[in-house]
Amino acid sequence: MNDMTKAESQDAPAAAAANPNPAPAGVPLEKAAEAPGAGAISAARLQQASEIVQRMREQIGHAVVGQQAVVDQVLACCLAGGHVLIEGVPGLGKTLLVKALAKTFSGDFSRIQFTPDLMPADVMGHAMFDMKNQSFSVRKGPVFAHLLLADEINRAPAKTQSSLLEVMQERQVTIEGQSHPLAPPFMVLATQNPLENEGTYPLPEAQLDRFLIKVRIAYPSEQEELALLRQVTRARVGDGLDVARVATLVKPETIVALQNLVALIRVDEAVAAYAVRIVRATRDWRGIAVGAGPRGSIALVRMARAMALIGGRDFVTPDDIKTASLPVLRHRVALSPESELDGLDSDDLLAALVAQVAAPRV
């Protein structure tokens, strides 16, 4: 952090030119939102935030071989203050990716292994009667954490899946009529196996819409798989990767500060209109039975802002919108029966749609 403070001092003149009311140099990132005149992002603050994000990317890469686009999407979702649904066949590193992100983050981390017999109280917690004190007390469930890994979420029945709705939307849990707020930041990282696997249940539509993005992890390339093989078998017992090499870099307050900075990323009116046109096009596109709602437009801009910060910019470009389109929209559209019979999936149709919507020149 000392190096970052030094960098801020060196960039102070440029920051003053870019922002007439910059946050004072030397203010820690987690205090930036409290600093006077912090309504815009100074050059020094942007550089500091970008360095933190790049270091987080590097640390996650110590555990996850390849899959850089997936890593960036999950990290961007965290910076945008959203929840992510990660889909892939078993053995592709879904859980490892979540563990690696959690290791870079010193907040509380919980994991729930979803099974067909899991009950909502096992997730949220419940009230217990204390015989000694003759009163009820609340036993909080694993959802009371900063990062919650819902592993194989589609192996639990809909009733248990739906128990996450309130906590994902409201950031609070209601037990016996009493609301218990969750400490920020709070993020649900859910993994699921494809629906064609036996023993899985489709997620409720209302819950799907609560996920900012849906990430698909594909098979690694030949070179990535070779690197993975070497990393696992080099003087090691067993066949699993771990997160021992991933360093803890940030505190909960730093994540909140990064999320506040993302909210200040500039979005030109033409770029915002471009995002809306893409989402509206899903409602009339051939092969899509049900298009994305207004929440899709909001999610698209939120995700694009986070990707801009990862790119070291304080403004969103049309390319950010394009890059965010598939992970943001793929779980918000429903295909027509004809598309399903033709073997198409949402990515095929969305890619064609985005290619047809004219991007602004900004």
3-state secondary structure of 359: coil
Tokens representing 168 are 């994902």
List the one residue out of 94, 102, 150, 101 whose CA is nearest residue 122: 150
> Is residue 49 within 8 Å of 37, Cβ to Cβ?
no
pLDDT at 301: 98
* CA 60 to chain CA mean position, Å: 14
Q: Which residues contact 285 (CB under 8 A, 6 or more apart)?
A: 291, 349, 353
Residues 184-242 have pLDDT tens digits of 999 999 988 776 667 778 887 778 889 999 999 888 888 888 888 887 777 665 555 67
More confidently predicted of 30 and 361? 361
Which of 24-38, 174-188, 297-311 has the weakest average pLDDT?
A: 24-38
Instruction: Tell me whether the omega of the peptide bond preceding residue 202 falls within 30 degrees of 0, making it cis.
Output: no
Which of 120-124, 162-166, 261-265, 302-306 has the weakest average pLDDT?
A: 162-166
Q: Looking at the predicted structure, is the pLDDT value of residue 22 above 50? A: no
Residues 2-21 have pLDDT tens digits of 444 444 444 444 333 333 33
pLDDT at 7: 41
Mean local confidence (pLDDT), 20-43:
53
Domain ranges within the chain, ordered by starting residue: 1-62+258-264, 63-245, 266-362
> Is residue 220 within 8 Å of 132, Cβ to Cβ?
no
DSSP 8-state symbol, 23: P
Architecture of domain 266-362: Orthogonal Bundle (1.10)
pLDDT at 25: 40
pLDDT at 321: 97
pLDDT at 68: 87
Q: Which residues contact 336 (CB under 8 A, 6 or more apart)?
A: 287, 288, 289
Q: Looking at the predicted structure, is the pLDDT value of residue 38 above 70? A: no
3-state helix, strand, coil in the chain (%, to 5): 45, 15, 40
User: How far lies 239's CA from each of 15, 233, 236, 242, 271, in Å?
Assistant: 49, 7, 8, 10, 46
Mean local confidence (pLDDT), 68-94:
90
User: How far lies 137's CA from each of 110, 132, 144, 174, 252, in Å?
Assistant: 21, 11, 16, 14, 27
3-state secondary structure of 127: strand
pLDDT at 31: 58
List the one residue out of 159, 119, 126 whose CA is nearest residue 144: 126
Strands (E), the chain: 84-87, 109-113, 125-130, 135-140, 147-151, 172-175, 178-181, 187-192, 213-216, 288-290, 334-335
Residues 89-145 have pLDDT tens digits of 877 888 888 888 888 988 888 999 999 899 888 888 877 777 777 777 778 889 999
pLDDT at 192: 86
Tokens representing 70 are 């997936």
Neighbours of 130 (CB within 10 A): 9
Banded pLDDT at 262 (limits 50, 70, 90):
very high
> Is residue 347 within 8 Å of 339, Cβ to Cβ?
no
pLDDT at 5: 41
**Helices and strands per DSSP (H, E), number in the chain:** 16, 11
CATH of domain 63-245: 3.40.50.300
> Is residue 208 within 8 Å of 164, Cβ to Cβ?
no
Average pLDDT for the chain = 84
Q: Report the share of the chain in percent with pLDDT over 90.
A: 45
More confidently predicted of 98 and 75? 75
Helix axes 68-79, 94-103, angle to 10 degrees: 50
> Is residue 356 within 8 Å of 278, Cβ to Cβ?
no
Which of 1-5, 77-81, 159-163 has the weakest average pLDDT?
A: 1-5
Q: Looking at the predicted structure, is the pLDDT value of residue 274 above 90? A: yes
